[in-house]
Amino acid sequence: MCGGFSGSAFAVHHATVQRAHHRRFRWLRWNPMFRPSHESLLIQNAEINRLELPRIQDETELEALKADGSLLEIRSGETLRFDPRLDPSRRFCRPWTLDFVDDLSQAYYNRFHQQIQVNSAVRTVKVQKKLRRHNRNAAPADGDTASSHLAGVTVDLQRRGMSKDQVHWMEHYLFYMKALGLVEPEEERHQWVFHIMVSGLYSDWRETQNIIPVEHLEQPQPDQHPDNDQPVAQVVLGSGSK
């Protein structure tokens, strides 16, 4: 009787240790530089409000913004591809966000000779509400923490499949941009993407920059972390023009 009880107790203890080890392992694997947060959503919406941008309600409003040039098409090419599931009608964003995507994708391609993948760009409120029904982690469709995709200022870039070196490069690139107040990034665990809201200040900042060949830049070290207060990466204008 005593031996049977001891065996059951050992089994329970062993299972508990295994679960704790598994949770610790998952935490060690997921330790991103830019954790999603309530504060980040507030920052994203504050920038949208500063720019006085509408949250796009439906397809009619979306098409009107495309027609007047407020939203520009993101085009695939040597440096950039799309998740094939992304509706072509939603492969659009604000002009300054397009500048950012062009620059980042070119710099990434120059460094790794691989394409960046865009998984999401502009959305309508109607699409966001539908998304919320089957994805509990999706941001709301309204309020102070609404998804910034609704204003066309945000893109999701695929993180899944990147090497450790590629993730570090992306994080340091974005850390530098965030330090300048030009982006508000998040690394989403469930969708495994870099969610990046681009400030309206980006295009003006871009006009002040010189073109620097990417191969001449010092690469960030993997052991560097944002706990120090200094930017740890430089940025290259990828399009080759101001």
The pTM assigned to this predicted structure is 0.77
- Range among 4-18, 127-141, 170-184 rated most confident: 170-184
28, pLDDT greater than 60: no
221, pLDDT greater than 80: no
> What is the CATH number that goes with domain 34-216?
3.30.1380
Rounded to an integer, the average pLDDT of 80-86 is: 97
Question: Where does the pLDDT of residue 133 fall: very low under 50, low under 70, confident under 90, or very high at 90 and above?
Answer: confident
235, pLDDT greater than 70: no
Question: Where does the pLDDT of residue 239 fall: very low under 50, low under 70, confident under 90, or very high at 90 and above?
Answer: very low
Instruction: State how far the Cα of 128 lies from the Cα of 201, in Å rounded to an integer.
Output: 26
Break the chain into its structural domains and give their ranges.
1-31, 34-216
What percentage of the chain exceeds 70 in pLDDT? 74
Vertex 218 angle, CA 166 and 173, to 5°:
45
21, pLDDT greater than 70: no
pLDDT at 190: 76
In 3D space, the residue among 68, 112, 58, 50 whose CA is nearest the CA of residue 90 turns out to be 58
Average pLDDT, the chain: 82
